[in-house]
Structure 1
Amino acid sequence: MSRKKQLKDKSNQEDHGSKNKGSSPNEALPAQTFDDYQCTGNVEVDFHMLCGLLNMKEVPAVSTKHPASSTDATEGVGEDDLSQISVSTLWFKPCLNIELENEDPLSVMRMKISEWKVNEQIFRALQKMLPSMSQLQYLQFCQAGLTDPMIISLTNTMSLCSNLRTVSLEGNPLPEQSFHLLLSEDSILTDLSLRNNQIGDEGARLIGLALSTTKSANKNLLSLNLAFNNIRDAGAAHIAQGLRLNRTLVFLSLSNNQIGDSGAAHLAAILGEFALTHEEVVERRKLLLQKMQAVSLTATFCVFCKTLSSPIQYFFTSEEIRITR
C-alpha cells in the first residue's frame, strides 16, 4: 500500500471518529425540561441541574460535610441561648448545607437551610429532589421565609421520603399557620421543631386538633417543640385537649410563651390520670366496635386436609380464600 493511500485512509478514519464523538449509545441525553429531569440522589448535581432548567441566574452553593468533619453547630445549644432568634429581613448568602453518612455522595442524611430566603424556584428544586434522597433523616429550614403553600407542598412530599423523621422549621411565621398539617394522622415524622414561628392561640388550636380528637390521633410524633411562640392560656387549653387521646407524644416544649396559671392548669390536668368525658367514652366505644367488626370480618378459620403428599391449609375470610401448601 502506498504512503499516500495510507494517509488518506487515516484521515477518513479521523473524520468518521469526529462525527461520532459524543454520540455513544450509553451516553444519556440531558433533560430538556424541569419536569423531565430524573433526580439521581446526588444533591450537588441535581440541585444545579434543576436550577439551570429553571433558568435561574444565581444558584446557591452546595456545602458538603463528610463524616470525618461533620459537626452540628446547634447541637448542645440550650433554648435560652436561642431566645434572641428573630425573624430577620436581612438574609445571609444562600448556601445549601448537606451532611453525608459516608463518602458516597448519595448518602445524604441531613440537609439544612439557614437564614436565607428560599424563593419559589429554589423550593421547587428542593421539593423535586427530596424523594430521591433515600437516606435523608433530618431536614431544616431556619428563617428561610417559607410560605403556607410551601408548607402544604412539603407535607405532601414528605410522605415520599422513606427515612425522613426529623424536621425543624424555626423562624418561619405563616399567616395561615399551616404547621398543623405536618402532624396529620398519617405523618411519618417523629420529631418536629416549630420554635419562633409566632404561633398564637389559633395555631395552637389547629395543632391540638392534629394531636388528637375523639376520631383521630397522630400516631408517630414523639417530640414537639413549640418554644418561643405567642401561645397564651387559650392556646395551652387547646393543646391540652389534643393530648387527652394522644398516646404517642413523650416530649413537649412550651417554654417562652405567654401561658399563665389557667393554661398551666389545663396542661397539668392531663399529665396524670383523668376521666374521659361522656362524648369521649361514646366515640371510643364506637371506634372499638368498628375495630371488633373489622376483626370479625377477617376472622380466619383453618381447616387441615390430608392429601397423598402433604397437608393443605385453607384460610377462609369474608373476602377471599387462599390456599397454601
Structure 2
Amino acid sequence: MLCSLLNMKPVPPVIRQIPPAIDSEVAFKEDEDLKGSGVPLRGTPCLCIELENDDPNCTRKMKISGWKMNYKIFKAVLKMLSSMPTLQCLHFWQAALSDPMVISLANTSLGSNLRAVTLEGNPLLQNSFYLLLSEDSNLTHLSLRNNQIGEEGARLIGSALSTCKSANKNLLSLNLAFNNIGDAGAAHIAQGLRLNNTLVILSLANNKIGDAGAAHLAMTFGELTLLHEEIVERRRMMLHKLQSSLRADLEQTAGGHLSAIHSASGKGEAKSSNKKKAIYINIIRLKANVHVAIIT
C-alpha cells in the first residue's frame, strides 16, 4: 500500500516470518537458511518482517534489505514505524541511507519497545551515526558494521558514549566491526569508554587497529584515574546541583511564609503583614547568600 501511494514500481516483496516458539532471541535467518524457503536472498530488494504471532499488527522486527531508499520513501517509512508499538528491532542493510535520513531517524519518536537498530552497509559522509547514541536514547543494541567509519566518525561516537558532561546510559552493546577506525579512532573510542558505565559489549574487529590503538583500549579497562579537567567538571556539576536544590527549598519556604502572610492580611492586618513580608524576604535572601557563600 505504501509503495502504491508513492507510485513505486516494481514493489519490493514483503516477507513475513514467525519465529519458532523455543527461540526467545530476535534474529533473522541467515542466507543459507533461506534457500528454498521462498524468501529473497541478500541483494534482492525486499522488506522482511518478523511477527510475534499470526497477528500482522504484532511486528517485532523489520529488515529493509537491498532497498535503495530516497528521502521521500524514508519519511513515509518513519511514519509507518511510529505506528508499530510492538517493534523491537529495526535493520537497514545496504539501503543507501543518507545523513538526513539518519538524523530524522534519531529525532523521530518511534515505538516505545524499539531497543535494537542495525545500520550495515550504509556509509555516511557526515558520520551522523553518533546521534543514535545520544544521552536520552533508549537503544540498548546498535550495530554499525561495514559503514566505512574512520577516525572522525570514531571521535563522534566516542564523545556520544561519554564526556565530562554527559554519557549514554542505556546502550549495552555496540558493533563497529569492518570499518576503518584505525589506531587514532581507537583512541577516541577508548576516551569515550572512560566515563561510560553502561556498555558491556563492544566489537572493533577488522578495523586496522594495531598495538597503539589496542594500548589505548587496554588502559581504559584498567583502574580509572580521573583527569584534572574531569575532576573540575564533576565538582562544578555537583555544586550546580546543590545550589539548584537549595534554591528550590528556599523558594518553597518563601512560598509558605507568603501564604501565611496573605491569609493574615485578609483579616485586616495588611499593614503589619507587609512589614512581616519584607522581613521574611530579607531573611530568606540572607540565608540564600549564606548557603551559596558556604558552598563556594
TM-score by length of 1: 0.69
**Does structure 2 retain, via aligned residues, the 8 Å contact 1:67–1:103?**
no
In the other structure, the counterpart of 2:11 is 59
Partner Cα separation in structure 1 for residue 51 and residue 256 of structure 2: 47
Structure 1 residue 73 corresponds to structure 2 residue 73: no
In the other structure, the counterpart of 1:129 is 80
Partner Cα separation in structure 1 for residue 91 and residue 184 of structure 2: 29
Q: Secondary structure at the match of 2:82?
A: helix
Match of 1:200 among 127, 147, 150: 150
In the other structure, the counterpart of 2:37 is none
**Does structure 1 retain, via aligned residues, the 8 Å contact 2:46–2:66?**
no
Partner Cα separation in structure 1 for residue 141 and residue 89 of structure 2: 9
In the other structure, the counterpart of 1:244 is 194
Runs of 4+ residues deviating >6 angstroms: 317-321
In the other structure, the counterpart of 2:261 is none
- In structure 2, relative to structure 1, the CA distance for the partners of 1:120 and 1:293 (3 Å cut) is same
Q: Compare the two structures and name the one with the higher helix fraction.
A: 2
In the other structure, the counterpart of 1:172 is 122
In the other structure, the counterpart of 1:146 is 97
Taking the TM superposition and a 5 Å limit, the aligned residue runs for 1:295-310 are: 295-298=245-248
Measure how far apart 1:67 and its partner are.
4.2
Measure how far apart 1:56 and its partner are.
2.4
Identify unmatched segments of 5+ residues in structure 1. 1-47, 78-90, 301-315
Match of 1:218 among 168, 179, 183: 168
- In structure 2, relative to structure 1, the CA distance for the partners of 1:61 and 1:319 (3 Å cut) is farther
Structure 1 residue 285 corresponds to structure 2 residue 235: yes
Counting aligned pairs with the same residue, the percent is 65
TM-score by length of 2: 0.75
Partner Cα separation in structure 1 for residue 254 and residue 107 of structure 2: 34
In the other structure, the counterpart of 1:21 is none
- Paired residue type of 1:266: H
Taking the TM superposition and a 5 Å limit, the aligned residue runs for 1:256-267 are: 256-267=206-217
Identify unmatched segments of 5+ residues in structure 2. 34-41, 258-296
How many residue pairs match? The answer is 244
Partner Cα separation in structure 1 for residue 139 and residue 149 of structure 2: 20
- In structure 2, relative to structure 1, the CA distance for the partners of 1:233 and 1:108 (3 Å cut) is same
Partner Cα separation in structure 2 for residue 202 and residue 93 of structure 1: 32
**Does structure 2 retain, via aligned residues, the 8 Å contact 1:51–1:125?**
no
